[in-house]
């Protein structure tokens, strides 16, 4: 399939746990376990899921901050996972990341000016004066005063620091920016400002975003398409509208029903509450990984792992990984039998 | 931008260091003492500062020796300026000699017939702290011994830290097999008994300044390695390092631009303590007779003389007092630095 900026194919990221006297591998964390999706130029793909489902790991694996255990990450048709050092360095001009915690992602010993110029310095772009000028322009672009240039990240608020982080990531005019929960650490009042800044920048520069978050409302606001992750796998992938209107996977349904709606007359009986905890990614359940918490789960779910496929009777491109995607009633009946 | 912009954290640390008075003043005093000791030839020396002879000025302190014939004396070896001063005074022809406040060097034996050294302190003869058992000036030996010890400690510290920081950083940064391998090497290394090695080496050859430093360096780099390794591990997993990697930064770039500047506080905190331990080790080796070769002025050697000549109390008391002063002040500095750099004092939880 051409026309994709990024194509992620069956990417797996397993972390070994070593232990014992000889540091042998005693267990494995299946953080990302066979994830496939694609990103078109200029679009925003949201990735949602609860803590520990592997969404941040996915982002870092795409960037090759981790070396994936398996699968392919094709950026403009070239596999990032197999690239050599030099090639990777070039590609990194085009893919950037914005981190969750603006306190951690900026080096406190550097001035803001130095932080923003860093991408230029690393890639040897421009002269000294040009870098300074460009950094000042970037500061202005993300809504910070020029006087911030000689100050330190320490002296700014969370939202301002996140703006510094954003200025740094767009410095080289990347084609893809991975936003790893860019607003989760911020005040609600600041969140929308930063989100709008991100959207404005996208409109201006035509970048694609992979927007990782656990807040469904935020993701809905920014995304064109959304992937729902559970325990290292994508369970549903659809256009934002479709996903919110007609979620097919029981997990997505539960998540969406949990979004608070400011309507006191709402019928609360349709609200689904998920019970139990997420199973450990060290030891995921057999078959469908969601079955331990799914109220529709049947014996088939324990035996067979569902694949991510076109959902029946849904709009095009709506993918879901559930045996009973369109016939959850049947599942209930089957469950009642046993 | 004329001054290097210091980040507010560093400024705060420096400010706090200055507010801890005894550490701050000890640091100033020590720095002054070290600087002055480099010009010790101007204060404690057998050569004169200025000689005026037959209308011409001579400055014998630095440079090659001036033979006695220069000043109309009948010998060709180095001029004895103290005698020259007496002679000029007696002649009264307008020639004069300006001697340093302590007109003795650390090697000469000032012996007078009929008097057996050590001689007690005596302002008249210029022996402010008396002489030792071979008639050498105690003050001169103290001052030059201090210089040797402090230069030794600082050089040793620089070498130790260069090696320790490099290996520790590499262990923390690259981790994995490299780290494991070096950990085991260091564990074995650290178990080699350091004093035995020195004693063995000293019994085969007479160690000089550099061989002694090499031996100490051999074992001294280990400590810093552990601290740096841990600190690097901690910094490496922080997101700003990930951000730099995501931008395509190379490993050396990340280490030198990001990790080292963020671990510098650890290095600085240990420095004063390393200096004082350097002085202590050198002094104790000299005391035991395994240190610097014989005529070199050193505190350890003075201490040994002092303890074996307890009736000449001026020897042992001057060296003990100097030692206590130096170590206390270094400890004050170290304490203040540690206090100022304590992360608990300026971590903001938000």
Mutation target vs B (from A16, A64, A109; most B CBs, 10 A cutoff)? A109
Q: Report the residue of chain A nearest B261, measured CA to CA.
A: A109
Mean pLDDT along residues A113-134: 92
Whether chain A has a CB inside 8 Å of the CB on B12: the answer is: no
Mean pLDDT rounded to a whole number for chain A? 86
Q: Report the residue of chain A nearest B347, measured CA to CA.
A: A154
- Would you kindly state where each structural domain of chain B is located, as residue ranges? 8-38+140-346
Whether chain B has a CB inside 8 Å of the CB on A196: the answer is: no
Which residues of B fall within a CB distance of 8 Å from A96? 246-247
Hey, are the CB atoms on B243 and A154 less than 8 Å from each other? no
Mutation target vs B (from A63, A73, A106, A108; most B CBs, 10 A cutoff)? A108
Whether chain A has a CB inside 8 Å of the CB on B8: the answer is: yes
3-state secondary structure chain A: CCCCCEEEEEEEEEEEEEECCCCEEEEEEEEEEEEEEEECCCCEEEEECCCCCCHHHHHHHHCCCCCCCEEEEEECCEEHHHCCHHHHHHHCCCEEEECCCCCCCCCCCCCHHHHHHHHHHHHCCCCHHHHHHHHHHHHHHCCCCHHHHHCCHHHCCHHHHHHHHHHHHHCCCCCEEEEECCCCCCCHHHHHHHHHHHHHHHHHHCCEEEEEECCHHHHHHHCCEEEEEECCEEEEEEEHHHHHHCCCCHHHHHHHHCCCCCCCCCCHHHCCCCCCCCCCCCCCCCCCCCHHHCCCCCHHHHHCCCCCEECCCCCCCCEECCCCCCCHHHHHHHHHHC
pLDDT attached to residue B325: 93
pLDDT 10s digits, A260-303: 777 777 776 666 777 777 788 888 888 888 888 888 888 888 88
Q: Report the residue of chain B nearest A101, measured CA to CA.
A: B239
pTM, two decimals, is 0.78
Mean pLDDT along residues A31-46: 90
pLDDT attached to residue B313: 86
Hey, are the CB atoms on A119 and B247 less than 8 Å from each other? yes
pLDDT attached to residue B346: 53
Interchain CB contacts (distance < 8 Å): A and B: 75
Whether chain A has a CB inside 8 Å of the CB on B4: the answer is: no
What is the ipTM metric for this complex?
0.83
Hey, are the CB atoms on B242 and A108 less than 8 Å from each other? no
Whether chain A has a CB inside 8 Å of the CB on B246: the answer is: yes
Whether chain A has a CB inside 8 Å of the CB on B113: the answer is: no
Q: What is the rounded CA–CA span in Å between residue B53 and residue B71?
A: 7
Whether chain B has a CB inside 8 Å of the CB on A293: the answer is: no
Which residues of B fall within a CB distance of 8 Å from A16? none
Hey, are the CB atoms on A154 and B9 less than 8 Å from each other? yes
Mean pLDDT along residues A174-178: 93
Whether chain A has a CB inside 8 Å of the CB on B253: the answer is: yes
Q: Which of B7, B245, B261 sits opposite A65 (nearest CB)?
A: B245
Q: Are B100 and B49 in contact (CB under 8 A)?
A: yes
Of the candidates B294, B291, B271, B287, the one whose C-alpha atom is nearest the C-alpha of residue B323 is: B287
pLDDT attached to residue A139: 93
Which residues of A fall within a CB distance of 8 Å from B261? 107, 109-110
Hey, are the CB atoms on A154 and B1 less than 8 Å from each other? no
pLDDT attached to residue B1: 38
Q: Report the residue of chain B nearest A172, measured CA to CA.
A: B247
Hey, are the CB atoms on B247 and A122 less than 8 Å from each other? yes
Q: Does A170 score more than 50 pLDDT?
A: yes
Hey, are the CB atoms on B7 and A108 less than 8 Å from each other? yes
Hey, are the CB atoms on B246 and A96 less than 8 Å from each other? yes
Hey, are the CB atoms on B239 and A101 less than 8 Å from each other? yes
pLDDT attached to residue A329: 67
Hey, are the CB atoms on B7 and A154 less than 8 Å from each other? yes
Higher pLDDT residue, A331 or B201? Answer: B201
For each of chain B's 350 residues, which pLDDT tens digit applies? 345 667 777 788 888 888 889 999 999 999 999 999 998 888 888 888 888 888 888 888 887 888 888 887 888 888 888 888 888 888 877 888 888 888 888 888 777 777 777 777 777 777 778 788 888 888 888 999 999 999 999 999 999 999 999 999 999 999 888 898 989 999 998 888 887 888 888 888 888 888 888 888 888 888 889 999 999 999 988 889 989 988 888 899 999 989 988 888 888 888 998 998 899 988 988 888 888 887 888 898 888 888 888 888 888 899 999 999 999 999 999 989 888 887 665 555 54
Mutation target vs A (from B2, B3, B7; most A CBs, 10 A cutoff)? B7
- Selection from A90-99, A250-259, A287-296 with the highest mean pLDDT: A90-99
pLDDT attached to residue B347: 52
Q: Report the residue of chain B nearest A177, measured CA to CA.
A: B246
Hey, are the CB atoms on B350 and A65 less than 8 Å from each other? no
pLDDT 10s digits, A304-319: 888 888 877 777 888 8
Mutation target vs B (from A92, A107, A110; most B CBs, 10 A cutoff)? A107
Q: Report the residue of chain A nearest B348, measured CA to CA.
A: A154
Please state which CATH number belongs to domain B8-38+140-346: 1.10.3720.10
pLDDT attached to residue B2: 42
Distance from CA of A175 to the nearest CA of B (A): 13
Which residues of A fall within a CB distance of 8 Å from B239? 99-101, 104-105
Of the candidates B57, B62, B61, the one whose C-alpha atom is nearest the C-alpha of residue B70 is: B57
């Amino acid at each position: 399939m051409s026309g994709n900026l990024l194509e992620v194919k069956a990417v797996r990221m397993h972390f070994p746990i070593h232990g014992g006297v000889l540091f042998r591998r005693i267990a494995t964390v299946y953080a990302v376990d066979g994830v496939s999706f694609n990103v078109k130029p200029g679009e925003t793909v949201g990735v949602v899921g609860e803590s520990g489902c592997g969404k941040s790991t996915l982002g870092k694996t795409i960037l090759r901050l981790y070396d994936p255990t398996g699968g392919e990450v094709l950026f403009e048709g070239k596999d990032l996972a197999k690239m050599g050092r030099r090639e990777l360095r070039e590609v990194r001009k085009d893919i950037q990341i914005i981190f969750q915690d603006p306190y951690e992602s900026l080096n406190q010993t550097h001035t803001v000016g130095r932080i923003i110029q860093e991408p230029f310095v690393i890639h040897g772009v421009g002269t000294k004066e040009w870098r300074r000028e460009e950094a000042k322009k970037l500061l202005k672009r993300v809504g910070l005063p020029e006087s911030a240039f000689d100050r330190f990240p320490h002296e700014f608020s969370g939202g301002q620091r996140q703006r510094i982080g954003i200025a740094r990531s767009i410095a080289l005019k990347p084609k893809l920016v991975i936003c790893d929960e860019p607003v989760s650490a911020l005040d609600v009042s600041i969140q929308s400002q930063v989100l709008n800044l991100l959207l404005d920048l996208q409109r201006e520069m035509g970048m694609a975003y992979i927007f990782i978050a656990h807040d469904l409302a935020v993701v809905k606001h920014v995304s064109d398409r959304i992937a729902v992750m559970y325990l290292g796998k994508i369970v549903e992938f659809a256009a934002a509208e479709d996903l919110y209107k007609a979620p097919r996977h029981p997990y997505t349904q539960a998540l969406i029903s949990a979004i608070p709606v400011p309507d006191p007359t709402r019928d609360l009986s349709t609200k689904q509450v998920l019970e139990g905890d997420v199973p450990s990614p060290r030891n995921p359940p057999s078959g469908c990984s969601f079955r331990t918490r799914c109220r529709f789960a049947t014996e088939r779910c324990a035996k067979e792992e569902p694949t991510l496929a076109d959902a029946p009777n849904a709009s095009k491109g709506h993918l879901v990984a559930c045996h009973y995607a369109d016939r959850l009633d049947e599942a209930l009946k089957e469950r009642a039998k046993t | 931008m004329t001054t290097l912009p210091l980040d507010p954290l560093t400024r705060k640390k420096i400010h706090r260091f200055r507010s801890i008075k005894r550490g701050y003043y000890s640091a100033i005093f020590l720095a002054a003492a070290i600087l002055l000791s480099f010009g010790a030839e101007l204060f404690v020396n057998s050569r004169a500062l200025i000689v005026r002879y037959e209308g011409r000025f001579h400055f014998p302190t630095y440079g090659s020796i001036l033979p006695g014939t220069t000043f109309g004396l009948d010998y060709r070896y180095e001029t004895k300026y103290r005698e020259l001063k007496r002679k000029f005074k007696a002649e009264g022809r307008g020639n004069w000699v300006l001697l340093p406040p302590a007109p003795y060097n650390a090697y000469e034996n000032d012996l007078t017939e009929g008097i057996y050294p050590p001689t007690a302190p005596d302002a008249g003869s210029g022996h402010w702290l008396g002489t030792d058992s071979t008639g050498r000036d105690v003050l001169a030996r103290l001052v030059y011994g201090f210089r040797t010890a402090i230069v030794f400690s600082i050089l040793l510290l620089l070498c130790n830290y260069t090696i320790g920081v490099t290996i520790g950083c590499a262990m923390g940064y690259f981790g994995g097999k490299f780290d494991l391998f070096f950990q085991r090497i260091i564990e074995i290394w650290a178990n080699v008994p350091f004093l035995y090695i020195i004693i063995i080496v000293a019994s085969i050859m007479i160690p000089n300044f550099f061989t002694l430093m090499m031996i100490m360096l051999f074992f001294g780099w280990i400590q810093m390695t552990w601290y740096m390794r841990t600190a690097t591990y901690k910094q490496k997993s922080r997101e700003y390092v990930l951000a730099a990697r995501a931008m395509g930064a190379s490993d050396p770039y990340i280490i030198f631009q990001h990790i080292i500047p963020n671990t510098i506080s650890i290095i600085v905190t240990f420095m004063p303590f390393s200096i004082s331990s350097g002085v202590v080790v050198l002094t104790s080796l000299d005391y035991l007779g395994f240190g610097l070769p014989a005529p070199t002025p050193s505190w350890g050697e003075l201490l040994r003389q002092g303890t074996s000549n307890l009736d000449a109390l001026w020897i042992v008391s001057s060296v003990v007092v100097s030692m206590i002063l130096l170590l206390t002040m270094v400890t004050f500095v170290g304490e203040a630095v540690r206090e100022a750099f304590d992360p608990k004092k300026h971590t903001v939880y938000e």
